[in-house]
Structure 1
Amino acid sequence: MTQVEPLGPDSLTWRIFGDWRGLLIALWAGSMQNMHPELGAGVEEHSRFFDERWERLFRSLYPIGGVVYDGPRARETALEVRGYHTTIKGVDTSGRRYHALNPHTFYWAHATFFVSTLLIAKHFMGGLTEEEKRRLFDEHVRWYRLYDMSMRPVPATWEEFQRYWDHMCRDVLEDNKATRDVLDLSRIGKPPFLRFLPDAVWALLRRPLHRGFVWLTVGMYDQPVRDRLGYRWTARDARLHRFAGRVLNAAFSLVPWERRYHPRARAGWRRALGKDPVDAPPVETPPRNLPPADELDSPTHYVPAALRTMPSGSTQRSKETAT
C-alpha cells in the first residue's frame, strides 16, 4: 500500500465537510449517488435504508467523516468503509452486472462527497474563490487515495473533473426507483431527536418539511439533473434559494465554533488543537443509531465493536408510525 498523508486542519475540507450545514444537502447527496445505475441498483437490492432512514444517515456520518478527520487513523477508517461494500453486487433489472467496488462506481460516490463540500460552501457559507475550488479538488484526490482504490477514474485536473461531472449529469445518471425513494419524504418517520413529538404533530410538520427539503435540493442540482427528474426551477426560485442560504449562513455565525461540527469532526479538531490527547479513541455512533438487532452482524453495516456485544433488547429502537 502506498503511504498517503491524511488531510489535516490546514485543509479546506476539514473546515467544510464536517459542518452540520452538510445535513442540508443530505437529500442531494443521496439522490445524486442513487442516480448512478450501478449504485442505484445496489441500494434497491441490498439496502434497508428506507426502513431506517434517519438512523442510517446519522450512523454513516461517523465513518465517512472519520476518513477526513481521524488523522493517523484515517486510512484504517477508509479501508473499513471500503469493506462495507464488498458484498454489494449482483445483476440489476435490466440485466446489467454491478458491484459497489467497481472503481468507477465507488469513485462516483466519492465525487458526490467532494461536490458536497463545494455546495455547502457555495450555498450556506458565503461561497468559494476559484483558487479554493482548485484546492478542494486537490484535497479530494488525496482524500480518495486513502481508500486504496484504483485511481483510473479520478480526473487529473479541476478542469477535467468539471467535464467528468457534466458528462455524468448529462449522459450517465438515471431517473430510477432508488432516487425517487430518497426524494420521497412524505411518509418518513420522526428523527431520533424528535421522538418526544406526538405523532399527530409530526404528521402536520412532515408535509411542509418534505416540500421544503426537496425544493432546497432541486436548487442545488445541475440543470441536466433537474431536466431528467422533471423539476422546474425559476428565477424566483433561484433568488429565494440564495436568500435562504444567506439566512442560514448568518444563523450559523451565532453557533459556537466547535458546535458547528459533527462529533467525529469535532473530535478531530480537538485532537489537532491539543484540547484532547492525540491518541484519544475516535468518537463512535451512539446506540440509538444502530441498525436493527437482526442486522448488527451484517458486513455492510458500520457498528462499533463495543456495541456489537450489547444485548439485543438494548439495541431495539421504537418504531415510528407513518401517519
Structure 2
Amino acid sequence: MMPLDPPSTTHDHGFFGPGSPTWKVWTHPTALIGFQRSVVLEHFDPNLAAAVADMRGIYTDPGGRLDRTLAYFLTVAVADSRSAIAASEFLMRVHAKATGVEPISGRRYSANNPASQLWIHVTGWHSVLKCYEMYGPGPLPAAEESRYWAECVVAAELQTCKPADVPASRAEVREYFAAMRPTLCTSERANEGMHYLLRTPRRPGNTKFWALSRLMAPATIATLPAWMGELGGYAQPAAVGRAYRPAVQAAVRAASSPRAVLAVLGEPLPATYRMMRLHLRRQAPELAETVTPAQARERYGNLIATA
C-alpha cells in the first residue's frame, strides 16, 4: 500500500512529534500484537469482511498485505507529513477499487465508506493502546492518554472518516463500541479471515511470519472480550491468557531495544522495518515543527500525481 520508500531525509516532525504518546505507543513492540488484534476485529464489520474476502489479498500474500497496512499506520503516526500525505493518497486510491456487494445484506460496499474507515481507525488505535497497557509499560498517565485520543482524531483526517464521529476519549471509545455492537456480525468468510490472520498457515518463504502470527495469537485473543472470541470461534480459556501474559511481558521487555525491534521486524515485515528504522535513526528534520494534515495538504498538494 505504500507508494514510496521511506525518504532519506525528513521534512518535519509529522503530525505529533517527539515526546508524543502516539510516537511512544505506536513504536513500542506491543504494537505488533495490537495490530494483529485490530485486523481481526475489522472482520466484524460485514462490509470490510466482504472486501477482504473479495480482494483475497490476505490469502495470496498475507505477509505483504499486512506488512504494508502496518507500515501505513506507522507512517501516519511517526513519519514526516509529506510521507504521511503520500501514503494516505495512495491508500485512498487502492481502497477506491475495493467495491462490491456485501452478501449478507445484498447492499453495495466500498472500502472507502466513512463508517467502515472509522471502524478500521478506532479499532487500530484502541487495539495498539490496549496491548501497550496489557503487555508493555501499562496505562499512560491521564494527561498523555487524553493527548493520545486527541491525536487519534487528528490521524483520522487522513482517511474518509467524518471528524465529528471520531471518539476523542476512552469514554467515547466505549460509547462507540457499544453503539456498533448491534451492527456487527460474523459469517463463514469473516471467520475464515479472522482465523487466517490469527494463525497464518505455513508456506514456502513465510516461516518467520507464520511463527510470529502463531506466537502472538494467544496474547491477542486474551485482550478481546469473551463474546468476540465466542462469535468468531476462537475463544480460549481465560486461564490461558493469564498464564501467557507474564511470558509475553518478558518477551516484550527483551525486544524493546531498537536493535531487537528491528531484528523482529526485518524479514517478516520489510516495509514496516524500513519505516521503523528511519524513525529510530532519524536525524533532525529540515523543519523542526509539527503540522496539521490540512497544512500538509496545502503544502504538498497531490503527491501521487507527481510521484
| TM class by smaller structure | 0.7 to 0.9
Provide the alpha-carbon RMSD of the alignment.
3.2
Partner in structure 2 of residue 142 of structure 1: 154
Q: Higher Cα Rg: structure 1 or 2? A: 1
Residue pair 1:6, 1:75 contacting (<8 A) in 2 also = no
Return the match for 2:125 from 90, 114, 139.
Answer: 114
Residue pair 1:145, 1:151 contacting (<8 A) in 2 also = yes
Return the match for 1:57 from 63, 66, 84.
Answer: 66
Percent of residue pairs identical: 24
Q: Alignment partner of 1:93: what SS?
A: coil
How far the C-alpha of 1:120 sits from its partner, in A, is 3.0
Partner in structure 2 of residue 203 of structure 1: none
Residue pair 1:119, 1:220 contacting (<8 A) in 2 also = yes
Partner in structure 2 of residue 90 of structure 1: 100
Determine the C-alpha separation between the residues in 1 that align with 2:223 and 2:72: 25
Partner in structure 1 of residue 86 of structure 2: 76
Return the match for 1:37 from 46, 50, 55.
Answer: 46
Residue pair 1:14, 1:68 contacting (<8 A) in 2 also = yes
Determine the C-alpha separation between the residues in 1 that align with 2:146 and 2:85: 23
How far the C-alpha of 1:11 sits from its partner, in A, is 1.3
Return the match for 1:100 from 81, 106, 111.
Answer: 111
Structure 1 residues 158, 178: closer, same or farther in 2, change over 3 A? same
Residue pair 2:34, 2:220 contacting (<8 A) in 1 also = yes
Partner in structure 1 of residue 299 of structure 2: none
Q: Alignment partner of 1:84: what SS?
A: helix
Q: Structure 2 matches for 1:156-235, cutoff 5 A?
A: 156-168=168-180, 170-176=181-187, 177-184=189-196, 185=199, 187-192=201-206, 212-235=215-238
Comparing 237-246 with 87-96, greater Cα deviation is found at 237-246
Partner in structure 2 of residue 28 of structure 1: 37
Residue pair 2:112, 2:160 contacting (<8 A) in 1 also = no
Comparing 104-113 with 174-183, greater Cα deviation is found at 174-183
Unaligned runs of at least 5 residues, structure 2: 1-13, 266-272, 288-303
Offset from partner CA, 1:253-284 (integer Å, 9 cap, x none): 4554874883213313543x42xx649xxxxx
Return the match for 2:275 from 256, 261, 264.
Answer: 264
Return the letter of the residue paired with 2:32: L
Return the letter of the residue paired with 1:44: A
Partner in structure 1 of residue 145 of structure 2: 133
Determine the C-alpha separation between the residues in 2 that align with 1:159 and 1:264: 32
Residue pair 2:135, 2:249 contacting (<8 A) in 1 also = yes
Structure 1 residues 152, 46: closer, same or farther in 2, change over 3 A? farther
Comparing 122-131 with 182-191, greater Cα deviation is found at 182-191
Determine the C-alpha separation between the residues in 2 that align with 1:19 and 1:214: 18
How far the C-alpha of 1:135 sits from its partner, in A, is 2.5
Comparing 11-20 with 148-157, greater Cα deviation is found at 148-157
Residue pair 2:99, 2:110 contacting (<8 A) in 1 also = yes
Structure 1 residues 19, 156: closer, same or farther in 2, change over 3 A? closer
Residue pair 1:71, 1:268 contacting (<8 A) in 2 also = no
Residue pair 2:221, 2:229 contacting (<8 A) in 1 also = yes
Structure 1 residues 278, 113: closer, same or farther in 2, change over 3 A? farther
Residue pair 2:34, 2:124 contacting (<8 A) in 1 also = no
How far the C-alpha of 1:17 sits from its partner, in A, is 1.2
Residue pair 1:103, 1:153 contacting (<8 A) in 2 also = no
Partner in structure 1 of residue 21 of structure 2: 12
Q: Alignment partner of 2:252: what SS?
A: helix
Residue pair 1:126, 1:249 contacting (<8 A) in 2 also = no
Q: Alignment partner of 1:98: what SS?
A: strand
Determine the C-alpha separation between the residues in 2 that align with 1:155 and 1:50: 32
Determine the C-alpha separation between the residues in 1 that align with 2:214 and 2:62: 17
Offset from partner CA, 1:172-229 (integer Å, 9 cap, x none): 322221342341336332555759xxxxxxxxxx6x8776443222112123312322
Determine the C-alpha separation between the residues in 2 that align with 1:172 and 1:114: 20
Q: Which has the higher helix share?
A: 2
Residue pair 1:41, 1:92 contacting (<8 A) in 2 also = yes
Partner in structure 1 of residue 167 of structure 2: 155
Structure 1 residues 55, 77: closer, same or farther in 2, change over 3 A? closer
